Structure 1
Amino acid sequence: MLDTAPNPPLWLRNGHADTLFAKLLQPSPPAYRRELLPDSTGQAQVAYDFIDGQDGAPLVVLFHGLEGSSRSHYAAALMHETAKRGWHGVVVHFRSCGGVANRAPVFYHAGDSSEIGFVLHTLQRRYPTVYAAGVSLGGNALAKYLGEAGEAAPVRAAAAVSAPLDLAAAGTRFERGATRLLYTRYFLNTLLPKAQQFLAEHGDMPFQTASALKNCRTLGGFDDLFTAPLHGFADRHDYYRRASCKPYLPFVRRPLLLLNAVNDPFLPPEALPDAAEVSDSVTLLQPPHGGHVGFVGQTAGKLHIRWLPETLLAYFARFEGGQAV
């Protein structure tokens, strides 16, 4: 297990406080260069927000979390640090995110590893060296893909941050207590309108949930009504079981940093894997503090969110000079 940890002040060593406060430290996003490129279905375009580095430099790909974007605090922070190194960077949006309408007959979800693979192979044709990072939902999908693809994954190394790697365990957190109260409405405020618009545009869907979605109050309910039936799962429990990346971790063959704070309010600590549950290619980093993609640090008394991007890029830099894949 990698031995490094953020150093938040005492009053931020609560998982909820760290998670929420990190957003207040969000830097302005860099000057992205946007390209609209096809998704894996060929029926929609998704936004790729690039920052251009030096010729021959590696590319850092970021897959965002649920309803995230290139403007999310962790995305902006990572891309700024990537630019400082002179590397290329890109935040790849999932369908319907980043202000681009979804025209495909599917949405996005935590187990959509086929989309991850399509994106990485697309980018590998442009850049000789690719590093990939995924945050939360994007981290789960990336880690699942790496387990499925094994040595065929077109990345030199990868990192999954605050991935809800056991979706059933994460689902229990969102059904009750402070996690449900603090975050459920935040996600549903954008998910529900998107889903209702999707159903209005795809009247031939083999399930009818538009009216029920109006009364949806939980993420589990949303997954039962929309995510699961739309993507071929029997229900949310089937979705959580089949989409979780944890069972795939023993089969990862590319270097993967798996970073989860023990006090992440989205995932109970007992769901975190130990070394016996992952392959030798996986490096576990489980600091006691950090919340869910918070990882607020302090330097000379000043709070910042540089610890996460600095940790990821330091991990990737270990593999520079190796053979590109």
Structure 2
Amino acid sequence: MPIVDSSYNPPLFFKNGHLSTIYSGIVRKVKNLEQIRIRITLPDSDFLDTDWSYASSASKKLVIIIHGLEGSSKRAYIQGSAKVLIESGYDVCAINLRGCSGIANKLFRSYHSGATEDLHAVIEHVLQLKEYQNIYLHGFSLGGNLLLKYLGEKRELPIEINGAVAISVPCQLADSLHQLLQFKNALYAKRFKGNLIKKLKSKQELFPDLILDTDIENIKTLKDFDDFYTSRAHGFKDAMDYYSKSSSLQFLENITVPTLIINALNDSFLGTECYPIEIAKQHNNLFLEMPKYGGHVGFYGKDNITYTELRTLEFLKNLS
């Protein structure tokens, strides 16, 4: 499909990518959204928590939302999306990936950018829980990469899955990491690393023989974290092996349902390889929109509704 033209043109203040990113991630608040928690037991005996929001009348349409790195269902970008969707007649299942619901998961492993087995487990649970005729996947950043990989893994998708929208996606993980390690993203990287180290210390209490104090002290960058923990806990050789095998870029050509990717051109987390322009041009189901502005999961909009929330709703309605 041709590249999708974007109409996003925010106020001057939000044309700055960093300001847009920070406002969305820290300042923005979403109120009056009810979320009902349902815990799912996973095939390996671990668990993850999902938070559900429902349309005012019985719906046969469900959107499954997946957060980004160190996010949760309580983040404004998740709750804002959920609120817009339920007000338009969709039910919403917001996933908290392993260890992200405020309660530590049971196993040494946790979540990562390519853990599609957990998304598959949620979808299987949903199909048993209620009869939805149309299911859509919606992910942000890491969650966007996860859903794109899931859709492109040549698995037999449930017939109920009819489309997807992915926002601010690091389609090529090594390229994104390279950006995060640059000075322009130092504050973001420090924040991510601090949260990950905090969780690793909690994990150390459960598995003291597998995580030593010296191991934690040696983690200086996000790549160090992935070299020590992410790769080791999830069966990869090292961080680069993890990035290589988990990047969604290599799976995009296999996607068979209509899928929209929105990656802002001023997203400081994304390098050139995270904009799959040539793939989208030749693809029947992949729509790539690259607004000039938006930062990383920013996209400020009027009345506390972001541009991507409205675009997601528009895209899904056109699939109905």
Following superposition, the deviation at residue 128 of structure 1 comes to 2.6
1:184 equivalenced with 2:189 (yes/no): yes
The answer to whether the 8 Å contact 2:48/2:98 transfers is yes
What per-residue deviation string (whole Å, max 9, x for no partner) do you get for residues 70-128 of structure 1?
Answer: 11111111011012113211111100011122002311000111111221222133223
Q: For 1:158, what is the secondary structure of its paired residue?
A: strand
- Taking only aligned residues, the RMSD between alpha carbons, in angstroms, comes to 1.9
Matching residue of 2:114: 111
Partner letter of residue 30 of structure 1? L
Question: Structure 2 vs 1, CA of residues 194 and 258 (structure 1 numbering), >3 Å: closer, same or farther?
Answer: same
- Give the 5 Å matches for 1:220-235: 220-235=223-238
- SS of the residue corresponding to residue 148 of structure 1 reads coil
Distance 2:305 2:271 in 1: 23
* CA apart distance, 1:29: 5.8
Distance 1:269 1:261 in 2: 11
The change in CA–CA distance for 1:2 and 1:224 in structure 2 (over 3 A counts) is same
In structure 1, C-alpha distance between the alignment counterparts of 2:222 and 2:234, rounded to whole Å: 16
Number of aligned residue pairs: give it.
Answer: 312
* Residues 37 and 46 in structure 1, CA contact (< 8 A), matched pair in contact too: yes
Distance in 2 between residues matched to 1:270 and 1:70, nearest whole Å: 28
What secondary structure, in the 3-state scheme, does the structure 2 residue paired with 1:156 have?
strand
Q: Name the SS for the 1:152 alignment partner.
A: coil
For the 8 Å contact 1:22–1:305, the answer to whether it is kept is no
Match of 1:323 in 2: none
Offset at 1:148? 0.4
Q: Give 1:282's match in structure 2, choosing from 271, 286, 289.
A: 286
Gaps of 5+ in 2: none
- Could you tell me the percent identity over the aligned residues? 30
C-alpha contact (below 8 Å) 1:294/1:305 kept by paired residues: no
1:163 corresponds to 2:166: no
Tell me, yes or no, if the aligned pair for 1:110 and 1:137 is still in contact at 8 Å: yes
Q: Which runs of 5+ in 1 are unaligned?
A: 321-325
Cα shift at 1:163: 1.2
Matches within 5 A, 1:1-325: 1-23=3-25, 24-28=27-31, 30-41=33-44, 43-53=45-55, 54-125=57-128, 126=130, 127-149=132-154, 152-153=157-158, 154-179=160-185, 181-203=186-208, 205=210, 208=211, 210-276=213-279, 279-298=283-302, 304-320=304-320
Distance in 1, matches of 2:230 and 2:32, equals 30
Normalising by structure 1, report the TM-score: 0.90
TM-score by length of 2: 0.91
